[in-house]
Structure 1
Amino acid sequence: MPLNFGKAEFVRSAASPEQFLRDGLPQFAFAGRSNVGKSSVINRLLGRKNLAYVGSSPGKTTQINYFQVDRRAYLVDLPGYGYAKVSRAEKERWGRLMERYFQDEGSLITTGVLIVDIRHKPTVDDMTMHAWFRETGCPEIVVANKLDKLKRSQVEPALALIRETLELTAADTLVPFSAEKGAGKEELIRLLNEACEKP
């Protein structure tokens, strides 16, 4: 039975590995640059305006936030990277927290969702996060957000650049998405449901 993404609630924020959820439910881990619209993508998926915090300045997600979907899975909002105007020490703390999450044996990532900006070539930080997802061995979905900012003729070349930069193969999944307009939402929900059903 497909997950009801409209039935979601915030469960907890984890600022340290002791607070990670390890109850065996599938975890969809969402990662992306601070200004890529990660919270907006999550809110669009869940059909809510402000469930995931959307800041006026990027970099507001400083902990790992867990949202339970349909009481059967977690959507995990990871701290944004690369842009936020915070101290080096704070960035390093986020980095260590993320690293511990990826290495944690109990908090199993079922699927990684890497959000990139369709208008730009993926950054070095995007490529690092992509590598982290690969190293966990979990399936990864690359979501190219801000589709509404491009003309139709620009979409394919933009997607081709993302595929080339991240070295995606034909077997890898790349979803053009607009958190603003909702394009790609049904496709992403379908993919997450498929991932959830895999043994």
Structure 2
Amino acid sequence: MDVQNVDLTISAVEAKQYPNTRFPEIAFVGRSNVGKSSLTNVLINRKGYARTSSQPGKTQTLNFYNIEDKLFFVDVPGYGYAKTSKANREKWGKMIEKYLTEREQLRGVITLVDGRHAPTNDDVSMHEWLKYYGIEILTVATKMDKIAKGKWNKQESLIRKTLNLDANEKLISFSALTKQGKTEIWQWIEGRMHQ
């Protein structure tokens, strides 16, 4: 999709604030600082529109980005960052869980892992949890420009093995710098929009 118009509609802290539209929604999940904002900015052809926070774990709301009045990108708070209180983490956890399992407009989840390393236990848990609920998942390995191209296959195999991805589960290598993977990610999103 060629994106011209984007609008941050709401940063929601509870379900009653979610946009009251029938637009399909694609959620983005991943550890703090994995590159969700960078990926979003590349997909919507903007620089710095989705804010990258210098403090990991800062996003504490579900941010709904209206894309061309056709769909919403939903930025989910990063997980696996301990500097917030346990009570806070539990509160977000419940909000996120409710959104991901009950939101009718949700068409799929793009889960981001840092392509330079093996997925963490949190990454594995999130993937298993999404699969358990039968949610459509696209796994994106970010920051791939930081790895020599010759090592990509090895890294992709490590990610697939650690996350226990089936042969039919997609893994896309992405670089915000070179925009590698952008077209494939959009193809996946567009395939979900008309379900």
TM over 0.5: yes
Whether 1:143 aligns to 2:161 is no
Q: Is the partner of 1:102 in helix, strand or coil?
A: helix
Q: Residue 166 of structure 1 aligns with which residue? A: 163
Following superposition of structure 1 onto structure 2, how do residues 1-199 of structure 1 map, counting pairs within 5 Å? 3-83=1-81, 85-104=83-102, 106-197=103-194, 199=195
2: CA distance, partners of 1:143 / 1:13: 24
Between 65-74 and 17-26, report the one with greater CA deviation. Answer: 17-26
Unaligned runs of 5+ in 2: none
Q: Deviations over 1:23-78 (max 9, x none)?
A: 22111010000010111111111111222111112122110010011101110100
Unaligned runs of 5+ in 1: none
Q: Structure 1 residue 108: deviation in Å?
A: 3.0
CA change 1:76–1:167 in 2 (3 A) is same
Question: Sequence identity of aligned pairs in percent?
Answer: 37
Q: Deviations over 1:81-126 (max 9, x none)?
A: 112522222222221111111222x443201100000111111111
Counterpart of 1:180, as a letter, is L
User: Where does structure 1 differ by over 6 angstroms across 4 or more consecutive aligned residues?
Assistant: none
Q: Structure 1 residue 195: deviation in Å?
A: 1.6
**How many residues are paired up?**
195
Would the aligned equivalents of 1:35 and 1:83 in 2 still touch at CA under 8 Å?
no
2: CA distance, partners of 1:107 / 1:60: 27
Q: Structure 1 residue 10: deviation in Å?
A: 0.7
User: In angstroms, what is the RMSD of aligned CA positions?
Assistant: 1.5
TM-score normalised by structure 1 residue count:
0.91
Counterpart of 1:127, as a letter, is V
Q: Is the partner of 1:189 in helix, strand or coil?
A: helix
